[in-house]
Structure 1
Amino acid sequence: MTARRTVDSPAVPTRVGYGSLLRTPGAWTFLVPAFAARLPYAMLSLGIVLLIRDTHGSYGTAGAVAAVSAVAQALVGPQTGRLADRFGQAAVLVPSVLVHAVSVGALIALALGHAPVWTLFLVATPAGATVPQIGAMVRARWVAKLADQPPAHLNTAFAFESVTDEFTFVIGPVLASAIATTVAPAAGLVAEAALTLVGGLAFAAQRRTSPARHPQEAGVRPASALASPGVRLLAGAFLGVGTVFGAMQVSVTATAEAAGQAGVSGTVYGIFAGGSMLAGVLYGMVAWRRSARQRMLASYALLVLGCSTLWAMPDLTSLAVAGLICGLAIAPTLITGYTLVETLVADGAKTEAFTWLTGAIGLGLAIGSTVAGQLIDAHGPWTGFLVPVAGAGLGLVALVTLRRLLVAPGARGRTVARSGAPVQRLAGVSEG
């Protein structure tokens, strides 16, 4: 098993542009199919809600089925990441997208046939569990591609991936909604399944850029990435970020409806997501002097600060401005978290580690939307905005209290000679 990435701390920060990153040999061969395959990630939940609401007449039922799918995805996704590290991405991805397409097809058929709700839960579970973990797999490919490059290259790659994630979460729901409303309620899920299948198979076919497999050694039980305390800490922090996403979606919608401007909710949430995209682009262009651990604490603190103002906004205009400011902290937090987790696990567990973080966001999204919805029903739209403050606040407390866990084991106390002076050897860029 290959050891964790260890590189000398650079004397002068290095800035790596996106153009240089995208000229990495072989990058486009996996980036293009990856985009097609990850776009449905943001289409599934809304597609389920739109279909089930039309066929069964209940938002409660539709939301419950979507939640079951999201929880299955959050819990099973890391296990598929672990299998991808062990057996290779294609070996896991091909059967996953096939089962996903069949499961979504079964969900559509049962919904259109007005089947009992319990049957919808039954097929929503494998539909969510088999959502391909493309984002984690792409990040693992970047790690393999840039293994011999300074950490700044990987920082830019993760920034690029974060912006791509945000873009898919802006475009995906819009695409699902447009198809479902202009064609048929089931059409959104049909498109989701088709994109997953075609994009997933095309991505799996790009074997030359896939990371090396790390098969289990005889007599050795491989440790899960979650065995690392630092990974567990980051997963908890990303759970808090997920509650921000989930609560914002529900609370913005409820606030817009209460103001009699339901159609504006998409614009307000889009501004929030746009702020994150903008911050992600700029973040990847900066030659950072601060360590990743310090940046993580700073960006997460800014996220909590931004969320703390949302509940007090008197109208949708001010809410959009506050959402923009809150969104500016999202991408830097995610980028730095992925940068840190890459340094905390060995090569044979990187895809799994990335997937734990992605799954934590999905689980937090389900929790945030559910809790916010309950508060809104009981006390009004403004109370939903208390959920992001609470979720992110708990994440910040954990990060500050346990920040020592974000340094890779063995990274402290080792020095190497450079230019006649000892400098600290860091694991990736995690020391701070």
Structure 2
Amino acid sequence: MAARPTVESPVVVDTPSAPARVGYGTLLRTPSAWTFLLPAFAARLPYAMLSMGISLLILGTHGSYGTAGTVVAVAAVAQALVGPQTGRLADRYGQAAVLVPSVLVHAVSVGALIALALGHAPVWTLFLVATPAGATVPQVGAMVRARWVAKLADRPAHLNTAFAFESVTDELTFAVGPVLTAVIASTVTPAAALIVEATLTLVGGLAFAAQRRTAPAQLVREPGTRQASALASPGVRLLAGVFLGVGSVFGGMQISVTATAEAAGQGGLSGVVYGIFAGGSMLAGVLYGLIAWRRSAQQRMLGSYTLLVLGCSTLWAMPNLVTLAVAGLVCGLAIAPTLITGYTLVETLVADGAKTEAFTWLTGAIGLGLAVGSTVAGRLIDMGGPWTGFLVPLAGSGIGLVALVTLRRLLVAPGTESRTVARSGSAMTSLVGASEH
């Protein structure tokens, strides 16, 4: 049943008999899209470099997987907690106003972390500078998704493809970032890898912030009103919890793959193995975005997350890097469909003035899960060897699946059954539901 429009004028309701299919070529021909996509890629690539770069740097200077995992965790927790607040500020004051100071502080903080690690400073000082380094990681992925929402609010099929494209881009960064980090760290130094990370963040972030014409409009609040947080939605809270499990897969995989490669005397291959894992996700994301799905987003979320748990269940038993790479590839095939569907669902659960914040809560949840996953995996590896670290992705994703199955009804936007577009002159109200994503 179509949702009742909120405008009092003639309404045109488009209810196709089958879901529309929009190709990536059509999406990328959206006017002005490339002006923000290219700098955004440069600015978000470092997100996939930071944690591995910190791990390799601390391993080289302090010699402990536990310490390396904990420093990564401190940065990731800071990012997870502060990131949504920057998203909220971006919704209110504009993306550039938040992004420019963030990338400047990030570059300085990473530089301080490098200097302290190379100087064999006490571990607590590493925590001290890892906090602002993580807190100022630019939320470019969420900002790009908010720009797509602003441009494609009247074209739901295009928006679904845009979310698929963004998840593929995320996975491309996670395929390229760790490999680039490992290559620079092994051929130059781990410090050089983090210098590249900070430079890309600074240059890409400033270039992205300069594209103000494609940025979503700032939220204008009426006097005396207060904007509700995106986290006030039970569905957003559920998705954030579920994405914690996805983050634990990332965190557990990164530190465990590194430990496995080091134990095999092939530390330089850690980025390659992890890149194959991310490559599987990227491949699945490309295919996912090309399909005109008939099943609801809730059903797709449950299916992809179940496949993620099944894929994680084999990682701990792999006897060598080759079999681990194959298992990681299979596991990665479930990542992008889960992320794409999660971002599709969360967009239906919040008002326009809170979308950047909502996307950032999911990104932050992944970062927090990465923090917990890398910390726990690092401690397990120090105690029991590399294989024990792979129990973390299985446990984290398993808990997420239980929450998803139990509370999945929260993912239906209140009062909506389908996506309907109501038009009145130039005004357009998009009423979003899960069933046609």
State TM-score, norm by structure 2: 0.89
Partner of 1:252: 257
Amino acid at match of 2:187: T
Task: Please report how far the alpha carbon of residue 40 of structure 1 lies from its aligned counterpart in structure 2 after TM superposition.
Answer: 1.0
1:50 aligns with 2:56: yes
Q: Give matches, 1:130-149, under 5 Å.
A: 130-149=136-155
Partner of 2:312: 307
> Per the alignment, in what secondary structure is the counterpart of residue 45 of structure 2?
helix
- Say whether the 8 Å CA contact 1:34–1:134 is kept in structure 2: yes
Partner of 1:292: 297
Amino acid at match of 1:102: V
Deviant stretches of 4+, over 6 Å: 3-7, 413-417
- Say whether the 8 Å CA contact 1:4–1:346 is kept in structure 2: no
1:242 aligns with 2:247: yes
- 2 CA distance for matches of 1:141 and 1:359? 19
- Say whether the 8 Å CA contact 2:106–2:198 is kept in structure 1: yes
Partner of 2:349: 344
Partner of 1:326: 331
Greater Cα offset, 332-341 or 313-322: 313-322
Aligned counterpart for 1:407 among listed residues 399, 404, 412: 412
Partner of 1:115: 121
Greater Cα offset, 177-186 or 30-39: 177-186
Aligned counterpart for 2:112 among listed residues 106, 109, 128: 106
Partner of 2:10: none
Q: Which digits, 9 at most, give the CA deviation of each residue in 1:224-254, with x for residues without a partner?
A: 1011000000001110011111112233333
Unaligned runs of 5+ in 2: 7-12, 423-429
1:92 aligns with 2:104: no
Aligned counterpart for 2:211 among listed residues 193, 206, 211: 206
- 2 CA distance for matches of 1:111 and 1:262? 20
Task: Please report how far the alpha carbon of residue 314 of structure 1 lies from its aligned counterpart in structure 2 after TM superposition.
Answer: 4.2
- Say whether the 8 Å CA contact 1:344–1:408 is kept in structure 2: yes
Amino acid at match of 2:40: A
Task: Please report how far the alpha carbon of residue 260 of structure 1 lies from its aligned counterpart in structure 2 after TM superposition.
Answer: 5.1
Aligned counterpart for 1:127 among listed residues 133, 147, 151: 133
**Percent of matched pairs sharing the same residue:** 84
Amino acid at match of 2:376: V
- 1 CA distance for matches of 2:317 and 2:15? 43
Amino acid at match of 2:399: L
- Say whether the 8 Å CA contact 2:168–2:285 is kept in structure 1: yes
Partner of 2:365: 360
- 2 CA distance for matches of 1:193 and 1:413? 43
Q: Give matches, 1:390-405, under 5 Å.
A: 390-405=395-410
Partner of 1:421: none
Partner of 1:64: 70
State TM-score, norm by structure 1: 0.90
Aligned counterpart for 2:33 among listed residues 27, 32, 43: 27
- Say whether the 8 Å CA contact 1:166–1:276 is kept in structure 2: yes
- 2 CA distance for matches of 1:4 and 1:179? 56
Amino acid at match of 2:111: G
- Say whether the 8 Å CA contact 1:4–1:427 is kept in structure 2: no
1:16 aligns with 2:22: yes
Q: Give matches, 1:258-273, under 5 Å.
A: 258-259=263-264, 261-273=266-278
- 2 CA distance for matches of 1:258 and 1:164? 31
Task: Please report how far the alpha carbon of residue 416 of structure 1 lies from its aligned counterpart in structure 2 after TM superposition.
Answer: 11
Greater Cα offset, 80-89 or 297-306: 297-306
Q: 1:368 to 1:344 in 2, by over 3 A?
A: same
- Say whether the 8 Å CA contact 1:406–1:430 is kept in structure 2: no
Partner of 1:369: 374
Greater Cα offset, 158-167 or 307-316: 307-316
- Say whether the 8 Å CA contact 1:4–1:344 is kept in structure 2: no
> Per the alignment, in what secondary structure is the counterpart of residue 363 of structure 1?
helix
Task: Please report how far the alpha carbon of residue 356 of structure 1 lies from its aligned counterpart in structure 2 after TM superposition.
Answer: 0.6
Between Structure 1 and Structure 2, how many residues are aligned?
A: 422
Q: 1:8 to 1:383 in 2, by over 3 A?
A: farther
> Per the alignment, in what secondary structure is the counterpart of residue 11 of structure 1?
coil
Partner of 1:74: 80
- 1 CA distance for matches of 2:130 and 2:4? 37
Q: Which digits, 9 at most, give the CA deviation of each residue in 1:79-106, with x for residues without a partner?
A: 0000001111011111111111222222
Partner of 1:274: 279
Q: 1:368 to 1:65 in 2, by over 3 A?
A: closer
Q: Give matches, 1:143-158, under 5 Å.
A: 143-149=149-155, 151-158=156-163
Amino acid at match of 1:382: W
